[in-house]
Structure 1
Amino acid sequence: MLRFFFWALLIINAILLSFNFGLFDNMFENTREPLRMKAEKNPDKIKLLNANEAQDLIDAQTKKAEPILACLEVSGFTAAEGKSFDEKLKPLALAERLTRTELAEVATNMVYLPSLGSKDAAEKKAAQLRKLGVTEFYIVQDQTPLRWGISLGVFKTPEAAKTHLANLAKKGLKEAKLAPRSVSAAKINYRLENLNEEEKQAIIQIKSAFPQIQSQACKSSSE
């Protein structure tokens, strides 16, 4: 029995001594090494984010997914132009995103055709204007020397009136004249908010049919 205990203690001491000298390290190396190599090849998969980094990542992804919205102001329409613009906007179904305002504006420069002498002559001339593609005009009927003449537009500045006069000449209407005349005219302005890129481009295309109209970017009321 004593001999048995002697050899048992001797074997246990030998095993402990082998561990101390690392004689058994190679037995576990084959299992540890693949795990170490996998971690080195995929460091991003084991990187831990703190709370702030995780929130920043979520915010960045959310911001990237949100569409960029635009705001446009389109201004300077006459009543007739505004009505036409309204019809062209209907397919976009902008609803509460569209604000339409009407302002009284005093214009002092008038492009016109002198009196044609009678209502019939003025209406005949009006039909000729439509054939030339001129649609913005009205027959003057007040008791002035211009009665039965035709107003082709009133403008705040002489430069704008001259530009309109030149455009009419290009269409073949060369007898139009320019004169000072104070007229209070309603101008219609539009504010269009929260437009996606497709809607914005559609409005720009519609606006191109009104060369005298100005447009500019604006800030949405929700910003």
Structure 2
Amino acid sequence: MLRFFFWILLIVNALLLALNFGFLGKWSGEEREPSRMKLEKNADKIKLMTANAAQDLIDAQTKKVEPALACLELNGFTTADSKSFDEKINSLSLAARLTRTELAEVATNMVYIPSLGSKDAADKKAAQIRKLGFTEFYIVQDQTPMRWAISMGVFKTPEAAKAHLANLQKKGLKEAKLAPRTVSAEKINYRLQDLSPEEKQTVDQIKVAFASVQSHECKAKTE
């Protein structure tokens, strides 16, 4: 198809040139001479297109628009989740376009299940909690009265902690409680730049496995 347009443009140029010099006069009848003189008078206004220019025009019209590149931020990974995320995106070769930031967050409102008294009891309770659809929790194992309790989340504000407690009790964890407990948690954020549409789609699919992580598009850094 491109070659067809290329030859059409060359033929049109040849006809214009022939008409300019009167070579087509025998088909124009009595109007040949006035038409030729008129074309000679306006010869400076006629611009013939070279073969290279014609090809450039065809290329410009058929050139595909480059897809826009995306910038994506993913916030709120725990240390364990970040390791899993790293393993999943290693195959995408994003190291040169990835920025990883570690932040320490301090929270003072803990929602928890009181100590179960032993590791076995805590493990059984943890299995029940998973069946209810909760995955963000951990068994406390330090040498304190909280040993073998189950932390269901630590929050910066009392309002957020109370809302989570109400949800747990609604789902059947009536023994869940709220207590002040200062915890410093490390959070990892990622910034991914210059992602192709296919790469962004893959990252979005990977992110689905990390329910607590928030993502949003960002502006690319300027040089």
Is the TM-score greater than 0.5? yes
3-state SS in 2 of match to 1:125: helix
Change (3 A) 1:84 1:167: farther
Range 156-165 or range 105-114, more displaced = 156-165
Q: Matches of residues 115-154 of structure 1 in structure 2 within 5 Å?
A: 115-154=115-154
Asked if the contact 1:100/1:191 (under 8 Å) is kept, the reply is: yes
Asked if the contact 1:133/1:171 (under 8 Å) is kept, the reply is: no
Asked if the contact 1:139/1:151 (under 8 Å) is kept, the reply is: yes
* Structure 2 partner of 1:111: 111
* Structure 2 partner of 1:90: 90
* Structure 2 partner of 1:100: 100
Residues in 2 aligned to 1:47 and 1:110: alpha-carbon distance in whole angstroms: 80
Residues in 2 aligned to 1:128 and 1:209: alpha-carbon distance in whole angstroms: 21
3-state SS in 1 of match to 2:102: strand
Pair 1:188-2:188 in alignment: yes
Residues in 2 aligned to 1:66 and 1:198: alpha-carbon distance in whole angstroms: 13
Residues in 2 aligned to 1:135 and 1:202: alpha-carbon distance in whole angstroms: 23
1:161-210: per-residue Cα shift (whole Å, max 9, x none)? 34544554565544322222110000010011101122223323333343
Residues in 2 aligned to 1:27 and 1:138: alpha-carbon distance in whole angstroms: 96
3-state SS in 2 of match to 1:81: helix
Residues in 2 aligned to 1:205 and 1:177: alpha-carbon distance in whole angstroms: 35
In the TM superposition, residue 105 of structure 1 has moved relative to its aligned partner by: 1.0
In the TM superposition, residue 113 of structure 1 has moved relative to its aligned partner by: 0.7
1:41-84: per-residue Cα shift (whole Å, max 9, x none)? xxxxx6689xxxxxxx9xx98x9733211111111111222233
* Structure 1 partner of 2:9: none
In the TM superposition, residue 159 of structure 1 has moved relative to its aligned partner by: 3.9
3-state SS in 2 of match to 1:129: helix
In the TM superposition, residue 87 of structure 1 has moved relative to its aligned partner by: 3.3
3-state SS in 1 of match to 2:141: coil
Q: TM-score, normalization: structure 2? A: 0.64
* Structure 2 partner of 1:157: 157
Change (3 A) 1:27 1:94: closer
Asked if the contact 2:26/2:32 (under 8 Å) is kept, the reply is: no
3-state SS in 1 of match to 2:104: strand
Q: Matches of residues 72-87 of structure 1 in structure 2 within 5 Å?
A: 72-87=72-87
* Structure 2 partner of 1:210: 210
What amino acid maps onto 1:125 in structure 2?
K
3-state SS in 2 of match to 1:108: strand
Change (3 A) 1:160 1:93: farther
Q: TM-score, normalization: structure 1? A: 0.64
3-state SS in 1 of match to 2:201: helix
In the TM superposition, residue 222 of structure 1 has moved relative to its aligned partner by: 4.9
Change (3 A) 1:170 1:101: farther
Residues in 2 aligned to 1:191 and 1:161: alpha-carbon distance in whole angstroms: 28
Change (3 A) 1:127 1:170: same
Residues in 1 aligned to 2:112 and 2:77: alpha-carbon distance in whole angstroms: 19
Task: Mark the structure with the bigger radius of gyration.
Answer: 1
3-state SS in 1 of match to 2:184: strand
